[in-house]
Amino acid sequence: MSHPKCVIIGGGAAGFFGAIQCAAALRKEGKNYSVTILEATNRPLTKVKISGGGRCNVTTSCLEPQKLVLNYPRGTKELLGPFSRFGPVQMIAWLKAQGVELKTEPDGRMFPATNSSQTIIDCLRGAADKLGITLEKGQIVKKITKSDESFEIHTSKAIFDADQLLLATGSMPIGHKLCEELGHSITKLVPSLFTFKSTHPIVEGLAGVSMPDVEVEIKFGKKKFMQRGPLLITHWGFSGPAVLKNSAFAAINLYDAGYKGTIQVNWLPGILKNDLSALLEKQKIEHPKKMVYNSNPTVLPKRLWTRIVKISDLEEKTWNSLPNKKLQALAQEILMARYEIDGKGEFKEEFVTCGGVNLKEVNFKNMESKITDGLYFAGEVLNLDGITGGFNFQNAWTTSYLAGNGMAKWCVNEAETQ
C-alpha cells in the first residue's frame, strides 16, 4: 500500500494540470508531499491528442471573463470568479513559460504554433516529470471509501491512500458513480456539441456546401435558441459552428424531444427581406428571360441556390414568369427556411457531455466539495461545458488550477498545525 498525500483520478488535461499546479505549489512552499495521478488506460491525455484534428485547440482569444462565460451553456454564473483568477491570459502565460508559443486563428481559436497536439502533451508530461509527479497507468478505480482524515482508493491493481483527492474523470460513467458514492448528486447526462441529421431535400447531394454566416434557430415551446455563424451541409444533415453551438445550448431540450424537431435557417442574415425582395425584383427586370435556377443574384453558392429554387418549385421558370407572390415565397425560403431534424449526428473529436456534479455542491473558490472535505473536482466531471472553440479546454485548465492549488494549500496548512 502506498500513501501519497494528494491523488488525482484521471490522466486527461484537467488531471495533469491539477497535479502540476498542486505539486508546483507544494514545491514553492518547500513541502515534499507526493502527488499521484491514477489513469485507467495506458494512454493518458488521449483527448488532448485527438482534439482539434490533432492540433489541440488549447484555449481561446476571448480574454475578458464577462464575455468568456457567455460561451458556457452550463456554468455561466459559476465560472466568472474562476476565470477572473485563472483564465486564458494566465494559461497563455503559463504555456509560454514552458516554452510553448500559441497562434490565434481568425475565429479566435488558439493552437500551438507547431500545429501539433503532441506539443501540449509533451509540455504537460515534461512539467509533471520535473515536479516528480507519479503517473500510475492502468489503474481502474473500483471504489473510494472516506474516513475522517483520508480517502482509501481501491483500483484494479492496488489500494492508495490520500488526504486530498481530485476527481478529473471527464464524462466517464465511473467518475459520476464515484461522485455519487461520495455524497454528490449528478444532473442529467446528455450529449452536447453534435450535428443534426436531416432527410430534407436541401441536404441530398449537397455535402460539402457551406455558408460562412447564417442564423440557425430552434424553438421548444416558449424557449428559443439561436446561433449565428458558419454552417456546413453534410451527407447526413447539418454541421458547422452555428449548429454545434445550438446543440450545446439546446442539449437538454433536444434530448427530451428525442432529437426530433425543426430548425429555421436564415441563409442571408445580413440582408432584410424587403431588400432581398428588391434584389429578386431587379433580377426579374434586368434578366426577364433567364431561367431562375441559372441566374443567381445572391452570394449563395450555385448548388445551394439551385436547390432552393427547386424546393420552391421554380426550377422550370424564367424570371418574367414569376408573379410577385412567387418572388416573396422565394425570399421567404432563403431567409426563413424550415428543415426537419431527424436525429443526432456526431462530432467525435470534440464530444462533450452536458451534465455532471451539481454545481451547487461545489465551492468555486477552490473547487472543493461542500459535502465531502478533501474532495475536489475539475473539468467535465462537473455540470460545466462550453461550446466549440477552446472553451472546454479552458474550463479544464481553470478548474484544475484552482483545485490543485486548493489541495496544496490544505497540505501546507496541515503541516503548519503539526
For residue 168, the model assigns a pLDDT of 98
pTM strictly above 0.85: yes
3-class secondary structure per residue, 82-123? HHHHCCHHHHHHHHHHCCCCEEECCCCEEEECCCCHHHHHHH
The helix/strand count (H/E) of the chain reads as 13, 22
> What is residue 332's three-state secondary structure?
helix
Q: Report the share of the chain in percent with pLDDT over 70.
A: 98
Query: For 93-130, what is each residue's pLDDT tens digit?
Result: 999 999 999 999 999 999 999 999 999 999 999 999 99
For residue 3, the model assigns a pLDDT of 44
Question: What cell numbers appear for 400 in the block?
Answer: 484544475
- Pairs from 312-317 (Cβ < 8 Å, separation ≥ 24): 316/291, 317/291, 317/292
Query: Can you give the length of the chain in residues?
Result: 418
For residue 43, the model assigns a pLDDT of 96
Task: With beta carbons less than 8 A apart as the criterion, state whether 399 and 377 touch.
Answer: yes
For residue 33, the model assigns a pLDDT of 86
> What is residue 215's three-state secondary structure?
strand
Residue 276 amino acid letter: L
What is d(CA 287, CA 93) in angstroms, rounded to the nearest whole number? 58
- Give the domain ranges of the chain: 6-190+352-417, 194-346
What is d(CA 227, CA 243) in angstroms, rounded to the nearest whole number? 7
For residue 418, the model assigns a pLDDT of 66
Please determine, looking at this structure, whether the domain spanning 6-190+352-417 carries the CATH number 1.10.8.50: no
Nearest to 369 by CA among 183, 188, 187, 189: 183
Question: What 8-state DSSP symbol labels residue 318?
Answer: B
> What is residue 144's three-state secondary structure?
strand
User: pLDDT digit of tens for each residue in the chain (418 aa)?
Assistant: 444 589 999 999 999 999 999 999 999 999 888 999 999 999 999 999 999 999 999 999 999 999 999 999 999 999 999 999 999 999 999 999 999 999 999 999 999 999 999 999 999 999 999 999 999 999 999 999 998 889 999 999 999 999 999 999 999 999 999 999 999 999 999 999 999 999 999 999 999 999 999 999 999 888 999 999 999 999 999 999 999 999 999 999 999 999 999 999 999 999 999 999 999 999 999 999 999 999 999 999 999 999 999 999 999 999 999 999 999 999 999 999 999 999 998 766 557 899 999 999 999 999 999 999 999 999 999 999 999 999 999 999 999 999 999 999 999 988 777 6
6-190+352-417 and 194-346 agree in CATH topology = no
Question: What cell numbers appear for 103 in the block?
Answer: 497562434
Question: What cell numbers appear for 360 in the block?
Answer: 451547487
For residue 169, the model assigns a pLDDT of 97
Strand 223-233 to 102-104 pairing: unpaired
* DSSP states along 227-268: EEEEEEE-SSEEESHHHHHHHHHTHHHHHHTTT-EEEEEES-
Task: With beta carbons less than 8 A apart as the criterion, state whether 123 and 54 touch.
Answer: no
Nearest to 193 by CA among 256, 236, 251, 253: 251
Classify domain 194-346 by CATH architecture. Orthogonal Bundle (1.10)
Burial (0-12, 13-18, 19+ Cβ within 10 Å), 357: buried
CA separation (Å) from 374 to 94, 184, 357, 370, 414? 26, 14, 16, 10, 12
Q: Within 13 Å, how many C-alpha atoms sit on residue 108's CB side?
A: 16
